[in-house]
Amino acid sequence: MLELRLVQGSLLKKVMEAIKDLVTDANFDCSATGFSLQAMDSSHVALVSLLLRSEGFEHYRCDRNLSMGMNLNNISKMLKCAGNDDIITLKADDGSDTVTFMFESPTQDKIADFEMKLMDIESEHLGIPEAEYHAIVRMPSSEFARICKDLSSIGDTVVISVTKEGVKFSTRGDIGTANVVCRQNTTVDKPEEATIIEMNEPVSLTFALRYMNSFTKASPLSSTVTISLSSELPVVVEYKIAEMGYIRFYLAPKIEEDEEDNNS
Amino acid sequence: MLELRLVQGSLLKKVMEAIKDLVTDANFDCSATGFSLQAMDSSHVALVSLLLRSEGFEHYRCDRNLSMGMNLNNISKMLKCAGNDDIITLKADDGSDTVTFMFESPTQDKIADFEMKLMDIESEHLGIPEAEYHAIVRMPSSEFARICKDLSSIGDTVVISVTKEGVKFSTRGDIGTANVVCRQNTTVDKPEEATIIEMNEPVSLTFALRYMNSFTKASPLSSTVTISLSSELPVVVEYKIAEMGYIRFYLAPKIEEDEEDNNS
DNA sequence: ACGTAACTGA
DNA sequence: TCAGTTACGT
């Protein structure tokens, strides 16, 4: 028997909106620890990892580990039927091949439940090793989203270069080149507006902007984003989910044939 | 060496949005006087003339006259990457075939630069003689825009007729006819809401609404628009740019085979 | 600001 | 004839 009650239902809505562009079908894994998902995007280039810890739920009951295959678009359709202030409860009986989403309006005047068939989805669950990163950048998620969107009107790939002074996002395309430099800046009044750079070693890596722009769909989940970079490792773009966990996107860097793209 | 620093960057964004529907490529001319452009629209019917005087820039350095050919769509793409509060600096080295747009966020924490290749564009720079106009109408730019948009859902052309009492915009189409009369009105509290008519001689001219609607894209630049009319002369639709200059659109009147369009 | 619809160029 | 681009409406 599975029963997860999430008071802040809008959070689940945002999570699905953030993932559904990237992943069409995925297994949601429930254990005593929490509710999690790991899935490759449809072209097997990027990886999404979601964790909602059990402590973040108002009520969390998961008698035994359960993996539920669902179509993200269908979930998203159902969640569109939930109000932003609704309390969402997810239920599944042991051995059942369905899952039920229940939406309670804050006033309890309206209760909706949606039952959905589960799917069999094969997936390799990859162990993602904790790694040491050459550089970790934390910045406002809206700013990162804006930069990725802007640069994608110029080029297809972004070179992210980190030095002690700041982080530089560069692209080039038919119409010219673009560089956006964000200086390290810890002095702002509000910590969520700071740009903080932890750097052990300068690093410069190239990524497809298409994926970066997909990742930034998670911006509503957190006011800040953390970008962890190491040469030869996939970048990690992480959005913390308050009190509950995170959503992390992994993307392998492009190998540059044309190293001049890395010049300033 | 060219270096123009414009604190109110949104102004340049608006200027480009106003022109780019009409003109695809154009030469931007820089001299000690200021930054200007003159270009025909792609179908060679309308003419755009832009002037941003050097005094309007926070910093203006232009060692020698320079004509920079650019694709307006590409400029527009780059300017979309500038925030509305950004300070925009335009730079070009002598003899260089590129131009650089630099955007500084108000806090100086984010600095973006965009380099763009210049193009060779042939253009005849027309001398536009100062003319005496039969009638000059000044009215709120939003009202003029609204009238042009409304009339274009009825017909393709507008007859603008000026008498002492007011200005009349007329059209006719398959579904019927439409007339909008704006009375002279100087008594409003706010001068930018006034409709002022200076008339030496009544005048009635016909224009293609398609172009008028393009011209009204400049409405965000100024709360008022000035329409100068003379028979046998192109109309001038002018939007003043505060403290800096103007953007003027010229359009030749249609020669009416069918004079009944001019009747009230 | 986004999505659609119409137009133009290939 | 189709696709890309551009303009308009929501």
Span A164-176, average pLDDT: 91
Chain A residue at shortest CA distance from B119: A175
Question: Shortest CA–C1' contact from B152: which nucleotide?
Answer: D8
Question: Quick one: pLDDT at residue B12?
Answer: 94
B77 interfacial to chain A (CB closer than 8 Å) = yes
**Residue B213 beta carbon within 7 A of nucleic strand D:** yes
Question: Quick one: pLDDT at residue A125?
Answer: 81
The CA-based dihedral angle spanning residues A116, A122, A126, A127, taken in that order and rounded to the nearest 10 degrees: 70
Question: Quick one: pLDDT at residue A264?
Answer: 35
The closest of A223, A211, A141 to A182, measured between CA atoms, is A141
Contacts of A176 in chain B (CB under 8 A): 74, 78, 98, 114-117
**Cα–Cα distance, B89 to B100 (Å, whole number):** 8
Which residues, listed in sequence order, are joined to residue A241 by a DSSP beta bridge? Answer: A245
Does A180 contact B80 at a Cβ distance shorter than 8 Å?
A: no
B97 interfacial to chain A (CB closer than 8 Å) = no
Span A167-180, average pLDDT: 92
Exposed / middle / buried, residue A58 (Cβ in 10 Å: 0-12, 13-18, 19+): exposed
pLDDT for residue A12 is more than 60: yes
Question: Quick one: pLDDT at residue B121?
Answer: 87
* Residue B258 binned pLDDT confidence (cut-offs 50, 70, 90): low
pLDDT for residue A261 is more than 50: no
The closest of B70, B58, B21, B73 to B219, measured between CA atoms, is B21
Contacts of A175 in chain B (CB under 8 A): 71, 74, 77-78, 116-117
- Strand D contact nucleotides, protein CB < 7 Å: 6-9
**Residue B263 beta carbon within 7 A of nucleic strand D:** no
**Residue B84 beta carbon within 7 A of nucleic strand D:** no
Does A182 contact B114 at a Cβ distance shorter than 8 Å?
A: no
Residues near B55 by beta carbon (within 8 Å), at least 6 away in sequence: B34, B243, B244
The rounded percent of chain A whose pLDDT value lies above 70 is 97
The rounded percent of chain B whose pLDDT value lies above 70 is 97
Residue with tokens 């298409």: A210
Exposed / middle / buried, residue A132 (Cβ in 10 Å: 0-12, 13-18, 19+): exposed
Least confident of A72-76, A182-186, B230-234: A72-76
* Residue A162 binned pLDDT confidence (cut-offs 50, 70, 90): very high
pLDDT for residue A241 is more than 90: yes
Question: Shortest CA–C1' contact from B153: which nucleotide?
Answer: D8
Span A251-261, average pLDDT: 69
Helices and strands counted in chain A (H then E): 4, 18
pLDDT for residue A258 is more than 60: no
Pull the structure tokens for residue B100: 């650089």
Helix (H) or strand (E) holding A148: helix A141-152
Does B110 contact A153 at a Cβ distance shorter than 8 Å?
A: no
Does B81 contact A151 at a Cβ distance shorter than 8 Å?
A: yes
Helix (H) or strand (E) holding A210: helix A209-215
Question: Quick one: pLDDT at residue A136?
Answer: 97
- Cβ atoms A207, A229 nearer than 8 A: no
Does A179 contact B112 at a Cβ distance shorter than 8 Å?
A: yes
Does B98 contact A176 at a Cβ distance shorter than 8 Å?
A: yes
* Residue A260 binned pLDDT confidence (cut-offs 50, 70, 90): very low
What pLDDT, in 10s, does the model give residues B33-75? Answer: 999 999 998 888 899 999 999 999 999 999 999 999 999 989 9
What pLDDT, in 10s, does the model give residues B224-244? Answer: 999 999 998 999 999 999 999
Distance A80 CA to C3 C1' (A): 19
A175 interfacial to chain B (CB closer than 8 Å) = yes
The string of DSSP codes covering A177-195 is: EEEEEEE-B--SSSGGG-B
What pLDDT, in 10s, does the model give residues A191-222? Answer: 888 999 999 999 999 999 989 999 999 999 99
pLDDT for residue B107 is more than 60: yes
What pLDDT, in 10s, does the model give residues A79-116? Answer: 888 888 999 999 999 889 999 999 999 999 999 999 99
What pLDDT, in 10s, does the model give residues A88-98? Answer: 999 999 889 99
pLDDT for residue B260 is more than 70: no
The CA-based dihedral angle spanning residues A82, A87, A90, A93, taken in that order and rounded to the nearest 10 degrees: -120
Size of interface A-B (CB pairs under 8 A): 53
The string of DSSP codes covering B189-251 is: SSGGG-BEEEESS-EEEEEEHHHHHHHGGGGGG-SEEEEEE-TTS-EEEEEEETTTEEEEEEE
A139 interfacial to chain B (CB closer than 8 Å) = no
